[in-house]
Structure 1
Amino acid sequence: CAVASRMVRTHIYTQRTLRRILRTHALYAAGELMYQIGFGAEYSAVQVWRGCKAFSRLAGRTLAWAARRAGRYIAAGAKGLWEDITGPFTGLVKGARGLRQMARTGYEEEGVARAARHSAAYLGRGAVKYFWVLGRVVSYLLPAAAAVVFVLTVTRQLESPFALEVSCNGQVVGYVEDELVFDAAREKVRSRIVLSEDQTWDVEPTFVLAQSSEVMDNNEMADAILMASADEIQEATGLEIDGQLVAIVSEGDRLREYLDGVRSQYEDPNNPNLTAEFVQDIQTVDGLYATASLTDYDSVIETLSGQREQEQRYAIQEGDSLTLVASRFNLTTADLVNLNPKLADPSYNWPIGDELVVHQSVPYLQVKTIETVVETREVAYATEKIKDDTLLLGTSKTVQEGQPGLDEVTMEIVRINGVVVARNELERVRVKEPVTEQIRMGVRMPGGMVATDAKFGTGTICWPVPGYTYVSQWSHGAHRATDICGPRGTAIVAADSGVVLRAGNERAGAGSGYGLSIVISHGSGSTTLYGHCDALYVTPGQAVEKGQVIAAMGNTGRVYGRTGVHLHFEVQQNGVYHDLSYYFSGLKYNPN
């Protein structure tokens, strides 16, 4: 009340002062309003604070009173409970002491027997008198014991791990923490199983909540699934050839031993430059396979040791011929021609690198060996031909003998099942240079004219009638030429480079009976003759190139019987006649 009175007096004094100060001022009204607001707020806050303090004091006194009352009740109850629990034991102790004192006094005064009887009677009376106390103790101890048992049971159950019991096909396979572990294990098994396109595998589990401390991870569960599925899948070995699964066997180690044995047949432990490997990409893959897909081991070996249809090709090497290639692959020449019809063409010249079909059935397993060898090869010497006008045309004189050089050639020899299919040159080192052969070639014509532009042969001849290979007769008896047939006017070419010795009709040419004919000297004693021509395109002393058109086919001169239009072609080497079949093998006489 005193504080309130002071606040009122202060308010009245302040109000009067403001009135005096602001009586004539225009802000008096505004100041009065703000003062009223501030005073009201201050007074309200003071009132609220006082109310809160009063409530706090009342609440504190009430709680303290309730706590004291509760404490007295709890203490009294605890004391009573303690006395109820400990009372029997206290009484038992006191009774035991009294019994002990009684027994001692009785023993001293009346003897052992009477002391024992008195003690037993005293004990019986005490038990009858205080039997009710035992019931009260039990009433307290049983609930406590039950509470202890309950707590222990709950604690143990909470500590015991729970898991999902997994069953597959009615068989318990293990326990997992959750279904995700089983799903991961199933995917792991599925990824390890090798199935064909028409095969499938899956396992559907059932889950039951159970107690178990032996919880499996996904790897252990995957093994358990495999054991449960042993009648559907099993460990085996797949044989893959060129990426294709061809067989599945349970004896994987035996299969690998067999394959190693096939390959080792072509190995040489004493040759470090020889390697052997299968032509096919052969893999043995251990894994899980469908039991129904397994193949009998003996039948697999029978297949692997047999033949299969596959075209085998061979690249022509230097020096190859029809007979050589046929014998190399155990074929007759007729068989090789049947496999390669192009070999029947007389113009086929066995180009190096060209491929021939040599087999249409091959061993099922093919082993390729690659061997590196060093070979010594002769290097052909060059021939330098020097024109000499002191020597007759067609004659020559060797002034320096040629000597071949030597090369050391590192070769890679590729064989398939022991048969050479390729020879690849890796390196060539010259160990001896060849010595050039020098030959002086005569260019003086019989009439004294010098053939200054003379050309000399290459040493090999070409077919003189390109596109026509029909031969009516070869060289035989007095007929020392090859008769090549064709239409009138067919172009005739020089079989090799050289100089025209004679060109004309009958004796102006090759001689009587040859009609329009040409004789060409190729040097080194080699000449060719072209008879019975229909027209001549060269003159004596003219140099010609190999393959140059020199005449047209006809039937001038002495032509007998059915030979008709043809080329009478002769080849001489140092005066010795050679049949054209000497240079072109494979062409046969056709009397038609």
Structure 2
Amino acid sequence: MIDDKIKEPQDVQPSAPPPLTTKEKLRAFWARVQCSSLLRRHHFRARTRRRMEGFGAFLSRFPLARQAGDFLYSLGFAGEYSMIQAGRVIESAAIWLSAAFLRAWQDVADTAFPGARTVLRELFEPLYVLCRGVRNIWVHGTNVRREKGFWAGIVADLQYLGRGAVRYAGLLPRMVVYLLPLGSLAILLTVVQVMVGSPYTLAVDVNGVTVGHVANEDTFDSAREDVLQRVNYAGTSGEAELTIEPTYRLAISTEVLDESQMADAILSAVSDEISEGTALYLDGELTAVCAEGDQLELYLDGMLSAYQDDADPTAVVSFNRTVTLEDGLYFTDSFKDYADVVSLLSGVRQAERVYTVQQGDSISLIATKNNLTTAELCELNDITTDTAIFPGDELIVTREEAMLEVQITRTVTWTEEIPFSTQKTQSSEYAFGTTHTVQEGENGIRTITAENVYDTEGNLLEQTIVSSEVTKEPVNREIVVGTKLPSGSVAQVGNGTFIWPVPQYTYCSRWYSSSHKGVDICAPAGTPIYASASGVISKAGYERNGAGSGYGYSIIINHGNGYSTVYAHCLSLTVSAGQAVSQGQLIGYVGSTGRSSGNHCHFEIRYNGRYLPPQNYFNK
């Protein structure tokens, strides 16, 4: 039965290992690579060591090799020992030199400054002891904290500090040398910081009483001027005005008043006959005071709104004068009714006044009598300083002007042409005086933006150019003027400027007029005559061979630019027809040939055959 119950053990099959993951495969691969590399290095070192041992055994067979090895070893040992000995010698020498220098320095210091060492010890010994004590306390406390804990270390620090204080109590008086300056510096910095951060103002006093504070002197001056305006407008007597003498002093306060509030405070301190009202200022000048400030403001706004143009958003409606309404305290007697203020604003500021010219008056004298400049008087009457005036004439010396006018400012834009200029060049390829246009000129265009100020009737009062932008550049006209003469030579074309043909002789017996086409320059016979500008002699000779009948010996110079000049009644000539001359070149001498009553040079300037007054080109 027992045998039947005993069962033979069954064979247990081992389970297959789980497959490796990709990460585990990579780790196994990297381990094999490292092992392979380690084995290769180990084999290389072992192989190298065996070869070196074999090479050494090979060399040891030769006596000469052993002797060479012993020599190299001895040489290396000797070199190393020599380096060590040299370093020791250098170190000893450095120490000795440092000690010698220190002793010498101490001797020099003791000789030059006998008490310096004592002074330095007195000054810095407390600091040295303090620093050393702090270090010792820290080291001692750290050691105790490591052995017995944190609080035991703190107790040890306090005990060490107490023992040090008792031991070096004699140094405490000397510590005052350091503590007093530091304390004084701290107090000074604190005082400076407090003073700088304090709100400094100006305290305004009237008759010894402080009426308020202002931020600066400018505010005080503005408030004082405002008070004077209110006093003058009220028509108070001189004595009353002298009693208002506000002064200021430096003070500290966090509350400050502006100029209007300060003016109210000053008036409150000097008079009881004041009331609250609204003041009207025109261009900064007190013009009226009334109690109906709100109605006055509505009236002024209505004057402007009547001319608002919704169709033109750029239009700005304003007054011709700066209008300011200021609420404050004003003398009760200076108040006006609202109707009177409106009547004042709708009236004229100054009526037109006429002055009757008296015997001995002049334009400048009349201007002075009426506090005008000469230019202002001429503008009022549309005259000039050369206008003749006679007794009994009437001149306007003051023009009627409205007290307050509405003006409208509009931004306008327009375009205008930019005239082109002409550039002339000279060329020997063309005949003298002939012109050839290389490039036609073309006007440019600019866009101008301006602010125009109009009155209510649309009359332009003022114009201010805001911007001017060139949208198209002008194209210059280019002209070539010929300089080639028939003979093949080249002449220079005149540049449009002239010089006086008879230098140093400026007296002229006759000037240009409708019956006399030139100027007669008086000079002695034989005085040189020079070309007024460069060009070509077109005619030179007597009478018809020159400038014509009656001109005597005369010259005509063609300057090639439309201009020509004539020199007549010459004594003799130094040039001939067809010859090129330059500006300032000698061409003849002053004489009295032809129809002439005395020695002179008759000089003419012509442009395209038209006579021009020479006096326009020279300063009389």
Q: Same fold (TM over 0.5)?
A: no
* TM-score, normalised with respect to structure 1: 0.41
Higher RCO structure, 1 or 2 (CA under 8 Å, sep 6+)? 1
Q: Which has the larger radius of gyration?
A: 1
